A and B are shown apart, each in its own frame.
Chain A
Amino acid sequence: MIQHRLRNLPRELAQPYDWTEFRRRARERAAAVARRDANARTTLAVAAALVLAVVGIAIWMRFTRSGGPPDIAGYPMAETDWRVFEGDAGSVSGTDARANAAERWLASLPTEPVVVRVGTRAAVTGLEDRIAQLDDYLSAARVAGVQPAKLVDVEAQRALLVRSLVQVRYAETLVSASR
């Protein structure tokens, strides 16, 4: 009954507008899409420029900080120790006092070097990503019919990465076995 009533409804209605209006709206919409794309491209370019600027400033700051000689003048231990040694420094020269202070400072350090353990996840993921990228590149090049001789360098690079990955994995296995 419901189906019958629904099917009896008109199956055609007057078109909302004619061909000329349709064309006008289509042109308008195409122009709007083009404007939106242009805006998106501009936004992307500005964002990329900002990111580049931030990265550039970060790199510049890093190099300007680590480029010069280390600032040891303000090192607190040196200050303190010089004063201690200058108290009985009548017979000892300034150079000796400095050497003694340095030796004392070295003696205060731990005898064993500190071992810092770093997770291998980032290294493994990075290596795997780069291998996958090279695989993609090689596949695309083969499909495009590039001569194998021209891909030798890429294949060598890939082999190097695979070797590195094997070494990292091997190290992981050793560590897990030793625990």
Chain B
Amino acid sequence: MARLGDIQIPRELLQKAAHGDEAAQVVVYTTTAPATFALIRRLMSNRAVAEDLFQDTMMTLFEKLPEFRGEAPLGAWLKQIAVSKCLMFLRSPWHRVRLRLENESEPEIAQGLGALITPAPCVEGLDVERALSSLSATARAVVWLYEVEGYSHEEIARLFGRTVSFSKSQLARAHVKLRDWFGSTRGKQSCTPIQSNGKV
């Protein structure tokens, strides 16, 4: 499976897409959309919000495509756009209000239990996702960016508009929580058990 940062698209195709060739744009969209959506979905637990941000990201991609100089792979450029959109959302006052409302009205969703996205056959993935969704939105973003996307603490701090200590402390706290999670679930069943009547 391709990482978003590694996705490359031939220069001629990009030029055609930048000049409004719809067939080329379709190719760019279908090549980049799955990895882009996956990244956004890892950072955002709410699917509706993730779809909104995905739409924003892809629209920005096609708007700014004529400015793309091709010095890095298109995927790396797109990753920057997607991450920046997600973190802007996390920093927005609107997000904080939404989070508070969710905490008041639907505690289960707020805890992230409704946020599992890995396809069902990947059992271990479900566990990791449950562990991730037990973190706050900010902590999850910091963990994902640092551990998986390879961002440094300085870069994360800059993106969040905070200090390096903020990034480090978020990561350290998240690690403790994840270790606790994996420790407490060790030996337990990974999947939701099938009941005697056969219903899940």
Contact = CB atoms under 8 A, between A and B. Distances in A.
B147 A9 contact: no
Given A2-B175, A22-B29, A10 B118 contact: yes
User: Which 8 pairs from chain A and chain B are nearest by CB?
Assistant: A15-B33, A12-B34, A13-B38, A3-B147, A11-B1, A12-B1, A5-B128, A19-B26
Interface in B27-47: 29-30, 33-35, 37-38, 41-42
B94 to A, nearest CB: 15
Given A22-B29, A26-B55, A6 B144 contact: yes
B34 A15 contact: yes
Nearest to B5: A11
Given A16-B54, A26-B59, A10 B33 contact: no
A112 B143 CA distance: 78
Interface residues of A, number: 21
A29 interface: yes
A14 interface: yes
A83 B25 CA distance: 97
Contacts of B30: 15, 19
Contacts of A25: 55
Contacts of A8: 124-125, 128
A7 interface: yes
A7 B147 CA distance: 8
Contacts of B143: 6
A16 B38 contact: no
A9 B35 contact: no
A9 B128 contact: yes
A9 B34 contact: no
Contacts, number: 78
A13 B34 contact: yes
Contact of A29 (B42, B55, B128): B55
A9 B29 CA distance: 22
Nearest to B36: A15
Given A15-B34, A15-B37, A22-B58, A9 B42 contact: yes
Contacts of A19: 25-26, 29-30
13 contacts: A2-B147, A5-B182, A8-B125, A8-B128, A9-B128, A9-B129, A11-B35, A14-B34, A15-B34, A19-B25, A19-B26, A22-B58, A29-B59
B3 interface: yes
B97 interface: no
Identify the interface centre among B33, B59, B144, B147: most chain A CB within 10 Å of its CB.
B33
